[in-house]
Structures are given as C-alpha cells and as structure tokens.
Structure 1
Amino acid sequence: MSLVRFLARPMLASSFVVAGLDKLKNADDTAKQLSPLLRRAAESLPFPADEKVLARVIGGAQVGAGALLALGKCSRFSASLLAGISILNTFVEWRSADISTKEGRLARRAQLLKNISLTGGVFLAAVDTAGKPSLAWRAEHLAMDAKKATGKQFKKTDRAVRKAVDNAVGA
C-alpha cells in the first residue's frame, strides 16, 4: 500500500466513524431526523422494524465500514457502502437544515459542500484498485487471451489437418 493510501484512507474514514458513533449514541435524535426515510424503509421490509433500530443499524454500518476502510480491509466494498450512507446523510441534512436565517442558509450550504466532498472521496476510494486490476478487467483480459490462444491453436490444427489430408491424398 502506498503512503498516500496509508494516510488518506484513515483520514477519509474518520469522519464516517465519528458520525456513525454519534448516530449510535443518539439513536433517538437520528431516528427523528431520518424518520420520513426510515418509515418508508420499515414499511418495505418483510419484518417489523423500529425506526430507532434502523437508525442504529445505519450508525453501526457506518462505523464498521469506516473502520474497514481505515484499515484497508475490503476497502472498495466499505467505500461503496459509505458512499450510499453519505448520499443518505446529505439528503437528510439538506432537508432538515434551518434556512430561516442567512446564517442557517450559509451553514446548510457549507454542510452540503462538505457532504458532497466526502461522497466524492468515498466514490474515488470505491474504484481505487490500489494498483491491481479489478476482477472485471482480469476476466475480460483472460477471455481475450483465451480467444487469441484458441484462434492460434485452431489455425495450427487446421494446417496440420490439411497437411495430413494432402499427404494422405497424394500418397
């Protein structure tokens, strides 16, 4: 792992870990803030779910994914999960921000820009292969190599068969 990744992943993850811990500690406030979205999510689940429990699940997922990203374990998956959570947080914070004053509107704008920046950072982390090709790239190139090898082998076999036929007919 490069020095930049070694330093940047924990730096990026720290914000998510702290926010997730806050969500876990203040599950009532989180459930209240997320209430419109959590209510819809609870209705679509096949089992009964409490908004407070869903808020804790989101907070726990945020802490877990942030910790994994910071440690560099399953970093692409955890960054993808954090991207989804970040989009959710951005939407909720945008909706619930106080815009009755100029200061409130400026704070809402600053928070939006911070959330968009964090989302962009985890999107980059989600596609970062750390210098190693992705599984899709590897599969695509393996298929192309197999196709080339098969084509060469087919031509070689075709020449051998034609030569054998010419020798058999000519004999």
Structure 2
Amino acid sequence: MRPVRSAARAMLASIFVVDGIRTLARPDSRVEAVRPLTDRVTPLLERTDPRLPTDPRTLIRIKAVADVAAGLALATGRFTRPAAAVLAAGLIPHAATEKGDPDHLLRNLGLLGGLLLAAVDTQGRPGLHYRTSHAIDRSQRSVRRAVRTARRDAKIAVAVRKLPG
C-alpha cells in the first residue's frame, strides 16, 4: 500500500507545487481575482495585528509559498497530515475567488476531498487518539499492578516480622 500512497500524494501535491511556482513568477495575474476577498479580509487582518500584510499581491505570494512548501512536504511524505491540512485550508479561499465555471468548482471539490483524505490518513498506523487512550490504559494497568505488588510485599513483610525468631 505504501507505493500507492506515495504516488497518490505526489500526484495530489503536484498541482499545488506547479500552481504555486506559476503564481510566484506572475502574482499580478491573480490580483484582480482575489481583490474582492482581500477587501473583506483586510479589516480583520488590520485588527488582529497592524503589522500583518494586507496588500493583495503580498497575500498571493504568501499563499503561493505555502502551497509550494506544503505541496513538497506532501509529495515527499514529510509532515503529510499537516501539509494536507494547510493545502486544504488554502484551497477554500482559492475556490471562493473563482467565478463562473462549474468545472473549476468540481475540480476544487475533488482536490479538497483528496486533501481531506490525506489529512486524516494515518498510513496504517494507529492515530493519535488511539495511541493516547491506549497509553492511558497501559499506565493505569501498570499503576494497579504496582499497587498489588506493594500490598503483597507489605503483607509478606508483616508476616515475616510476626515470625518468632
């Protein structure tokens, strides 16, 4: 199953890496498309921290860098779940800025579905919830075992003291 996962992640990530590189090379081609979204987000960014960039061109470049970095991480199998989550989160505003063509909407929904699957894929290993709950169970059993052993040792010590001699 590992080769299939590796190939699927690389194929899924490729569109984000290529698109991110194209956007970094020509960010001005997207400025007008994202301006309605950035105009709505700019007041929120300014309220959060006045030092945050609000220029659409800069925001486009930041998203492009995030897409390339997360896409490469996903494709190489490093930090796959966080990388897929970053790409999925970045895909939502991207899908919101595309107008008209229903094919683009379907493509973005398909990509979002693949990214969501990649974000929850534990690669056949137990997930964090399973591991933590079982670690707690193991530690509780270990404590109970230690208490039983201590009680037994205490009973033996008391019995040895009571022996004449």
Contact 1:23 1:55 in 2 (8 A): yes
1:141 equivalent in alignment to 2:151: no
Equivalents in 2 of 1:164, 1:154: separation in Å? 15
Equivalents in 1 of 2:148, 2:97: separation in Å? 62
Equivalents in 2 of 1:167, 1:132: separation in Å? 50
Q: How far did residue 80 of structure 1 move?
A: 0.9
Q: Secondary structure at the match of 1:152?
A: helix
Equivalents in 1 of 2:38, 2:71: separation in Å? 22
Which residue of the other structure, out of 102, 105, 108, is the alignment partner of 1:109? 102
Contact 1:75 1:126 in 2 (8 A): yes
Q: How far did residue 48 of structure 1 move?
A: 5.1
Equivalents in 2 of 1:23, 1:3: separation in Å? 30
Equivalents in 2 of 1:30, 1:58: separation in Å? 12
Residue matched to 2:23: 23
Give 5+ residue unaligned stretches, structure 1.
99-107
Residue matched to 2:64: 59
Equivalents in 1 of 2:82, 2:110: separation in Å? 19
Equivalents in 2 of 1:159, 1:9: separation in Å? 55
Aligned pair count reads 159
Q: Secondary structure at the match of 2:125?
A: coil
Equivalents in 2 of 1:46, 1:140: separation in Å? 42
Q: RCO (CA 8 Å, sep 6+): is it higher in 1 or 2? A: 2
Equivalents in 2 of 1:18, 1:54: separation in Å? 18
Question: How does the TM-score come out when normalised to structure 2?
Answer: 0.83
Q: Secondary structure at the match of 2:123?
A: coil
